[in-house]
Amino acid sequence: MPSGCSIRAIWILNNLDSLVFSRRFPVVEKRWRAVCERENEASAADDSLKYTVFHLLPSDSELVSAFVERKRGEGSTRGLGTRVSQSVKGSDSWVDDPITRHIIGLYINKDEDGDNNLLWPVILHMKGQFSVLVLPLVEPRHLKAYACLCKRSDCGNAVGVDDSLSSLLLDLPSITGAFTVAHAIGDIISGDGVEPEVVVSSAPSVGGLLDSLTGSIGISGISSRAKPVAAPVASASPSGAAVAGNATSDAPRIGARSLDKDALRTFITSAMPFGTPLDLNYSNIFSMKINGFSASDLPPSDLKQPAWKPYLHRGKQKVIFTIHEIIQAALYDRDEIPDSISISGQINCRAELEGLSDVSFPLTGLNKNQIEVLSFHPCAQVPEHGVDKHSLMFSPPLGNFVLMRYQATCRVGPPIQGFYQLSMVSEDKGAFLFKLRLMEGYKSPLTMEFCTVAMPFPRRRIISFDGTPSIGTVSTTEHSVEWKILTSGRGLSGKSIEATFPGTVQFVPWKIQRLPSNLASGSIADEDSDIETDGSNNIINIDECLMEKMNKDLLSVDLEEPFCWQAYNFAKVSFRIVGAPLSGLSIDPKSVSIYPTVKAPVEYSTQEPYGKLSFLVLMTISLPEVPFKVANVYTYRSIFSYQQVTSGDYILWNTLGPCPSAAVPKV
Amino acid sequence: MDDKPPLKLLSPQEWESLIDDFQYGGARRQKWTAAYAILPSLVDQALASLLKRDFPLKLLLVLFLEEFSDSLFADSDSDSDSRRSFLHRLVDTLRSLLQSTAPDGFAVSFSFKEQFMVSVTSILISLETGLDRPGFVEELEALVESLLTVVNRPNHGFDRQIRAVACECLRELEKAFPCLLSDIAGHLWSLCQNERTHACQSYILLFTSVIHNIVVERVNVSILNISVPLAPFSVPQILLSKEGSSAGLNYKELRRAIAFLLEWPQVLTPSAMMEFLGMIMPMALALELQTSMLKVQFFGMIYSFDPVLCHVVLTMYSQFLDAFDGQEGEIARRLMLISRETQHSLVFRLLALHWLLGFGEMLLKKGDGGKMKSFVEMGLKFYPSVFDPLALKAMKLDMLAFCSVCPDVRNSNSESDKLVVKLFQDGLISVSAFKWLPADSTETAVAFRAFHKFLIGASSHSNADPSSTRTLMDSTIFHTLQGMLVDVMLECQRLVPVIVALIDRLLSCQKHRWLGERLLQTFDEHLLSKVKVDYKLVSCFPIFDRIAENDTIPPRRLLELLTKFMVFLVEKHGPDTGLKSWSQGSKVLGICRTLLMHHKSSRLFLRLSRLLAFACLYFPDLEVRDNARIYLRMLICNPGKKLRDMLNLGEQFLGISPSPASSIFSVQSPRSTHNVKKPSNLSSYVHLERLIPLLIKQSWSLSLSSLSIGNNKPGNLEDIRDPEPIVEEREIDGSSSDTIQIIPENERINKPREPLRVMDSKISEILGRLRRHFSCIPDFRHMVGLKVRISCSLRFESEPFNCIWEVGPPFGGLDVIDSLPAIYATVIKFSSSAPYGSIPSYRIPFLLGEPPASGNISGQGVSLDIVPIANGSREDKRFRASVTVELEPREPTPGLVDVFIETNAENGQVVCGQLNSVMVGIEDMFLKAIVPPDVQEDEVPGYYADLFNALWEACGTSCNTGREIFLLKGGKGVTAISGTRSVKLLEIAAPSLIQSMERNLAPFVVSVIGEPLVNLVKDGGIIRDVIWEDAASHDDDDKGDDANARDDFERGPLHLTYFDETTDRDSVVNITKRNMGCFLVLIFLPPRFHLLFQMEVSNFSTLVRIRTDHWPCLAYIDDYLEALFLA
């Protein structure tokens, strides 16, 4: 079997575990059956491999019941991921690998046929309320290898020496391909960017750079010849996007959006007519479906037009770069734990150039010590030995795209420094103190547009609050206190300020509020009936005592979360700084060259209308209580053009309480 | 099929539900296929609907046909005609559809055309079963031809997408029928060269697959040749003839084609790139291309953030190891960096780490140690960061574990050992929250996963693994981990269950069992000494339980700790800790039980018995005390293996119950009902036997039973009680009411005084003695009567027992004893028709079955050395339980005692049934007369002698005492003596008589008279504490010395004249020629009777004079004496 990727079937289930879409690819299925027959014949001859692979594709009902069965056994849709006490042999969690939350095995007709009919690897991608299941074609031996892994009777894999899931995954590009398919489908069904019209409708009326974009996008939805669709740029959602929303991830939300099955069928027909993915760029596919081609769409005279660029731009030419960085920080203000600050950034680009032009520019300020990861859009031509010369050449596709991603450290100090201390004076009353310095050491073009500090108390209800900050305003909600240090419109530029905020907060008395947890409920249950902490134990500190009490009811988080947010007290800072990227990376507009040579017009930043190039560094953090999705929609409207409002985790840990940390490598 | 109606005409809605039902499968699909003849009509209707202008569901319907045609036609394999016609019509429809370029109003939309092309191709491929199927080739050719017509318009404007799709259809056909298009490869190449729109990707892929198949199938065709026309298309001969014409490849042309193809990788999408390289790579191998060229061209893709492209590079690496040699470091670094890209979705970051692990494994397997260096150097980069999702943290910890097993690290010194520890400790910081979060938190799961990974390190599960356990055990990381786990348990007892789970995981692994054991040993050594003895200790009990289960760990420390804990519990006990004491005490006993189950009793005995004894004595809770007592009993009484089985059995039924002790007892009840049904002749293999066999066997019981049946018991008693019937009755009456009671009492007091008569001093002396004697005899009606104890032994045979009760030979214990069955908690009940009062039942806690007879064992081929053991052990006390039957006879008669047994087999079955009866003989009734408490010990012989004489007199014919009544002990009952006399001559020589006497009647002899006899008996030493009398000194004071007396005896007749005082003696002397002397025997027969023998011993015969106050016993005595002396 060639090392390509073929899909046997796709299923989409909603959050009520009913199947809303299914698609099978009989050509791939025929290949699978042929291989199975050969394999089963061979294994019949060879006694050591008695296991026969399941060669049929399940019907929808069989699949759903297998899926529900797995969910029941594993405690949640995703599964346990690691082998814990409730794992059973033959299940995914028995393999003891977190990736089994994404690559799952299903037993078809388990009741009748037992563990024989294993369907693997089923790619599970959860998007919104839907679960997308994709079954790529693998060889029977891979399936057998996995079956061995999840039924092994020993204590689990030893790294590097046993036959492992890792080497299987390395051998199977089809799994990787299936994931990209699943993600593409997920984007379509969740509506993230499938509907180019949204971009158009929200596009008007904001000046500067946006006008220039509407010029081209605006036509797309309306005119018959719309080409480029604004590609969703902010595909990256940094970790911890859904802060504290962990426990609800599997909870069903009723009122499911109906699925646009026709759009899906159209996409599948074009993207993978026979089950083999060819092009998963849905904006291209949909604009081709909507617009078709006319005789006037001439191909380039001497070159081949790339498959990823079905249309060529005509008209005004321009190139826009946007550098978008997200800063993540964990500030401890402790001697024993160093602060950790990291920046993940990307260069977004929109190049409206006629023909098939190549763009190249040198990356300046690319200090190896600060920027450590560089990865590029497939259109970029990266020489064999990586980017040594710091010069990048690419032939841009249509629309907005992410040209480059990087991880960096902060060139200057953190934009906000200081500490947050919260101490419980009684079980239901806490005294806190903030002392922050903003923009220490930040020079003039850098402007902090707003800055908000939120103290979330997701598990406690606030009764009253007392305290006045040295600057800014304070508001409270049921579960959080929000301190607006800088409000938008009053940017902070060229100077640094100090802000302090002492206060107290009073909570509703603590009650045990154990929710019916869906997994692990009975595991260690009533065991401690007679070890209950009587008052006589030696906790003197009220903080510790309370923590002990509260931690008892903590629900475990998903493996997708970095830690159990609710176990800690912290303040989360949201801010936005514009003016320059913090990593020090920059693009000198003068040195951008385009081949074949065209006169590319200049573009403008929001600060400097009609300036040369724009740097927009956006850093915000959404409130933990507000789901990411909602925040996105709001910001989408107001800062509509770039969809760059993303959230990073900028956390001030309570200096007086426990906090998560990680070791920093000292070389 | 004919009997079913054809499918009705379906509306679009009905189509929709039909499609839904087919997809749903199962019953919903059956609904349609059962009701209608699906095949011809459904397909007909579908095709007709597709051609309708305004049919709304065309796309859906086409897809339906595509997805289900296979299974539709699979139902009727024989129906090839309908299949053929279906295919024919499909291809036909497609052709007409493609030609209808007419964009009239409704116009066939492009997307429908595209889908239809795809579907027809797909149906054709999936229905195909072989090119030799009649008519198939024609359809195939027609389809290919139509598609080629579409394809053959390069650079055409508006239909470029449909051309791309047609290329894909052709490619799919080429995949299904390799070399189908090989003849027209030249045309395709030129089309490929010409096409410049975005559809060129499909052309490139199509051409690539064609030459790929040419290379793989090694077909000799010229790909430059365009002499074969595109249309009409015909299937190449090589496909039809099936003869591999492997005349060799046209390398030159093919290389040129590949060179052409490699010019255009940048036009491909990432997915297409994967497909493209998937075909290029085998070709490059087959054509021996310079693979470094591929590296130059494609290695840059690893810098892309598209995961598909990265994976393609990895695939290339594994295929062209030589070309990519030296890139390992770069690849590894790159994969590591992908995992750190926060912009990626989590799954790709995880995948990148998996690839890296897989990549490392690949290098390890190749033995490329040098290349692993880059991994180790990168180690620090895998430190999880704070905001990494936990899944990623887990994977990064895996990577750290991998770094620690890299050969570079493994083969070396303490420094690298330290590095491993550092990696581990640093890595774990990211999830150190597990120490304060609940035990079921995800952090805990991740942390313990890492514990496990680092613990087992590089020791794989394959049997061929050479890594020795020794190195692992000595490693620093192992020591660190051990210490860490101990600390964790001391700090946060919450985590004990998780640690137990980890231990269990290791213990259940064949390969790493020793690791778990080693950890438990460490805990035993270090944890037990450090834990604080307080109420919280109970949270450590799960781990104690594991320690207790493990017999590699001496239980000393654990038992000491538990004893301390018990002491603590007892000391702390107060009014508010009642429940806690109970619960924790029970848990301690639970561990004791585990210990009992898993250790040799001898190992535990001292400390455990001390612990249990302490609990029995001092523990405040009753249940705990009871349970402790039961355990102690078990520990003491039952051999180890049995004990374990017994305890284990309870576990199966009462796994949840925290109260461990009740197990054995609870088992019975649910099972007893159905087991009782089993018919069993238990008596054939369960035996209750008398220890001392009876002298008289069968005849006895017969004569007795007739007697006891014949005589009404109360009547019988009444008879015997004749002398004072009135008093008896009154007394019985008296007991019913108080008022009357007084009266009889007065009367009774008066009555003894009533018979006033003259008595001489001798008679009054006799009466006095008798009164004293009778006042010592308990009145069984008012108090505990005199008991007669019969010692028996219970035993049972193993083999029949096992067979009948299906106990089955217990699990292969090597010890013979272990393989024997046992019975538990046996109760033996007795009943008898003879007047023996109520007989208390007897209990035996435990009894082993007798090993089978030695002959059987050797016969079964068991090694011979067992035989002596088995033989020896047959007599072993373990196989016999002593049973005492306690009778309280109302009348001294022989009889039968019926025996019932109720017991438990090992498997919990209740065994009950009747055993052979125990015979009671008259000799069982023989008791020594009761000595009043005020008689000194040295006066006893004298007392007996006096009593004998008194009774002798009283039972004599001269019934001086006949009217006398004697009060019994307690003062309520009275009795009288009515004597009977009898004589028995035993023809037996004196020595054997003396022997028999010594053996059977020695205790009852009160006096031996006559020097010759005394001399004979006294030396034997068996008859002791009796009155030794010379005949001379006693009876004949005036007869000189001893020597004379002896002579006199020998001269028997001479003495006659001297003995005339007592007529009895005269007669004896008269009869016996050589009188040696005489035994006086006093036997007490419960409840209040006596049997007196005066045995005049001569050399060859003995005359026994018998007197008794219970005449019926004479019947048995006769037989008894005969059996005793004449047998």
Which chain B residues are Cβ-neighbours of A374 within 8 angstroms?
303
Q: Average pLDDT of A513-534?
A: 43
- Euclidean distance between CA atoms B282 and B284, whole angstroms: 5
Q: Is A515 on the interface with B (CB under 8 A)?
A: no
- The answer to whether residue A571 scores a pLDDT higher than 50 is yes
Alpha-helical (H) ranges within A223-292 are 261-271, 282-291
Least confident of A150-154, B373-377, B582-586: B373-377
Give the torsion sign (CA, A52, A55, A57, A58): negative
Contact A567 B436 (CB under 8 A): yes
For residue range B393-408, what is the model confidence (pLDDT) as tens digits?
999 999 888 888 776 6
For residue range B617-635, what is the model confidence (pLDDT) as tens digits?
888 888 888 889 888 888 8
- The answer to whether residue B860 scores a pLDDT higher than 90 is no
- The answer to whether residue B1119 scores a pLDDT higher than 90 is no
| Distance (Å) from the alpha carbon of B582 to chain A's nearest alpha carbon | 11
Q: Average pLDDT of B1023-1038?
A: 62
The 3-class SS string of B620-638 reads CCHHHHHHHHHHHHHHHHC
Model's pTM, two decimal places?
A: 0.73
* A122-131, A159-168, A361-370: range with highest mean pLDDT: A122-131
Q: Average pLDDT of B335-341?
A: 89
Residues 588-647 of chain A with CB under 8 A from chain B are none
- The answer to whether residue A405 scores a pLDDT higher than 90 is no
Residue at token pair 């509907």: A195
CB B4 within 8 A of CB B33: no
For residue range B204-243, what is the model confidence (pLDDT) as tens digits?
999 999 999 999 888 888 888 878 888 788 888 877 776 6
**Which of A346-364 are b and which e, b meaning 16 or more Cβ less than 10 Å from the residue's Cβ?**
bbbbbbbbeebbebbbebe
pLDDT bin (cut points 50, 70, 90) of residue B1096 is confident
- The answer to whether residue B869 scores a pLDDT higher than 50 is no
pLDDT: is B36 or A95 the higher one?
A95
Residues 564-583 of chain B with CB under 8 A from chain A are 579-580, 583
pLDDT: is B945 or A210 the higher one?
B945
pLDDT at B577: 79
- The answer to whether residue B499 scores a pLDDT higher than 50 is yes
Q: Average pLDDT of A63-86?
A: 89
pLDDT: is B801 or A63 the higher one?
A63
Which chain B residues are Cβ-neighbours of A238 within 8 angstroms?
342-343, 387
Give the torsion sign (CA, A118, A121, A124, A130): negative
Contact A23 B63 (CB under 8 A): yes
- The answer to whether residue A162 scores a pLDDT higher than 60 is yes
- The answer to whether residue B1112 scores a pLDDT higher than 60 is yes
Rg (Cα) of chain B, in Å, rounded? Answer: 54
3-class DSSP state of A90? coil
Contact B274 A240 (CB under 8 A): no
- The answer to whether residue A433 scores a pLDDT higher than 90 is yes
Best A64, A155, A404 residue to mutate vs chain B (most B CBs within 10 Å): A155
pLDDT at B1061: 44
* A373-382, A618-627, B564-573: range with highest mean pLDDT: B564-573
Q: For residue B729, how many other CB atoms are within 10 A of its CB?
A: 13
- The answer to whether residue B712 scores a pLDDT higher than 60 is no
- The answer to whether residue A69 scores a pLDDT higher than 70 is yes
Q: Average pLDDT of B817-832?
A: 81
Task: Among B67, B157, B536, select the one facing A531 at the smallest CB separation.
Answer: B536
The rounded Cα B838 to chain-centroid distance in angstroms is: 43
Q: Is B129 on the interface with A (CB under 8 A)?
A: no
| Distance (Å) from the alpha carbon of A71 to chain B's nearest alpha carbon | 18
- pLDDT over 70 for what percent of chain B? 78
For residue range A448-465, what is the model confidence (pLDDT) as tens digits?
888 899 999 998 899 999
Residue A614 is encoded by which pair of tokens?
Answer: 């724009």
3-class DSSP state of B398? helix
- Euclidean distance between CA atoms A129 and A15, whole angstroms: 5
Q: Is B58 on the interface with A (CB under 8 A)?
A: no
Cα angle value B779/B780/B781 (rounded, 5°): 90
**A1 to each of A36, A122, B275, how far by Cα in Å?**
12, 19, 11
- Euclidean distance between CA atoms B427 and A662, whole angstroms: 7
For residue range A354-398, what is the model confidence (pLDDT) as tens digits?
888 888 887 766 666 677 777 888 888 876 555 555 678 888 888
Q: Average pLDDT of A552-564?
A: 87
- The answer to whether residue B914 scores a pLDDT higher than 60 is yes
* A251-255, A618-622, B34-38, B125-129: range with highest mean pLDDT: B125-129
Q: Average pLDDT of A76-81?
A: 88
Contact A304 B383 (CB under 8 A): no
- Euclidean distance between CA atoms A29 and B126, whole angstroms: 8
CB A472 within 8 A of CB A416: no
- The answer to whether residue A241 scores a pLDDT higher than 50 is no
For residue range B593-608, what is the model confidence (pLDDT) as tens digits?
888 888 887 788 888 8
What's the first-to-final CA gap in chain B, in angstroms? 99
Q: For residue B679, how many other CB atoms are within 10 A of its CB?
A: 6
Contact A559 B168 (CB under 8 A): no
pLDDT bin (cut points 50, 70, 90) of residue A46 is low
Residue B988 is encoded by which pair of tokens?
Answer: 């037996």
pLDDT bin (cut points 50, 70, 90) of residue B464 is low
pLDDT at A600: 53
- The answer to whether residue B701 scores a pLDDT higher than 80 is no
Least confident of A169-173, A314-318, B254-258, B435-439: A314-318
According to DSSP, residue A647 is labeled B
**A276 to each of A27, A126, A306, A389, B168, how far by Cα in Å?**
10, 22, 19, 37, 10
Best B29, B347, B543 residue to mutate vs chain A (most A CBs within 10 Å): B347
Beta bridge partners of A454: A482, A572
* A441-455, B750-764, B870-884: range with highest mean pLDDT: A441-455
Q: Average pLDDT of B1069-1094?
A: 78
Strands (E), B854-927: 881-887, 895-905, 910-920
pLDDT at B148: 92
AA letter at B970 = G
Contact B267 A307 (CB under 8 A): yes
pLDDT at A28: 92
For residue range A256-284, what is the model confidence (pLDDT) as tens digits?
456 778 888 889 988 999 999 999 888 88
pLDDT at B740: 34
Q: Average pLDDT of B113-118?
A: 89
- Euclidean distance between CA atoms A353 and A309, whole angstroms: 12
AA letter at B351 = L
For residue range B266-292, what is the model confidence (pLDDT) as tens digits?
899 999 999 999 999 999 888 888 888
Residue B664 is encoded by which pair of tokens?
Answer: 């054995």
pLDDT: is B737 or B831 the higher one?
B831
Contact A154 B269 (CB under 8 A): no
- Euclidean distance between CA atoms B13 and A175, whole angstroms: 37
Q: For residue B625, how many other CB atoms are within 10 A of its CB?
A: 17
Q: Is B307 on the interface with A (CB under 8 A)?
A: yes
**B230 to each of B181, B184, B221, B240, how far by Cα in Å?**
10, 7, 16, 19
For residue range B942-983, what is the model confidence (pLDDT) as tens digits?
888 888 888 888 887 655 555 677 878 777 777 878 788 888
Residue A56 is encoded by which pair of tokens?
Answer: 């049929």
Which chain A residues are Cβ-neighbours of B452 within 8 angstroms?
96, 155-156
3-class DSSP state of B787? coil
- The answer to whether residue B1013 scores a pLDDT higher than 50 is yes
Q: Average pLDDT of B775-779?
A: 83
Residue B42 is encoded by which pair of tokens?
Answer: 């459904």
Q: What are the respective helix, strand and coil percentages of chain A, to the nearest 5?
A: 25, 25, 50
- Euclidean distance between CA atoms B946 and A540, whole angstroms: 89
Residues 85-104 of chain A with CB under 8 A from chain B are 85, 96, 98-99, 101-102
Residue A420: which residues within 8 A CB-CB, separation 6 or more?
A: A333, A432, A433, A434, A455, A570, A571, A652, A653, A654, A655
- Euclidean distance between CA atoms B390 and B402, whole angstroms: 18
- The answer to whether residue B783 scores a pLDDT higher than 50 is yes
Which chain B residues are Cβ-neighbours of A295 within 8 angstroms?
157-158
Using CB atoms within 10 Å of the CB of residue B1019, give its burial: 0 to 12 exposed, 13 to 18 middle, 19+ buried.
exposed
- Give me the phi and psi of B431, to 5 degrees please: -120, 25
Which of B213, B107, B127, B129 minimizes the C-alpha distance to B170? B213
Q: Is B463 on the interface with A (CB under 8 A)?
A: no
Which of A85, A193, A92 minimizes the C-alpha distance to A151? A92
- Give me the phi and psi of A439, to 5 degrees please: 60, 35
Q: Average pLDDT of B1063-1080?
A: 59
**Which of B159-170 are b and which e, b meaning 16 or more Cβ less than 10 Å from the residue's Cβ?**
bbbbbbbbbbbb
Mean pLDDT of chain A, nearest integer = 74
CB A641 within 8 A of CB A206: yes
Contact A273 B118 (CB under 8 A): yes
Give the torsion sign (CA, B1115, B1118, B1124, B1127): negative
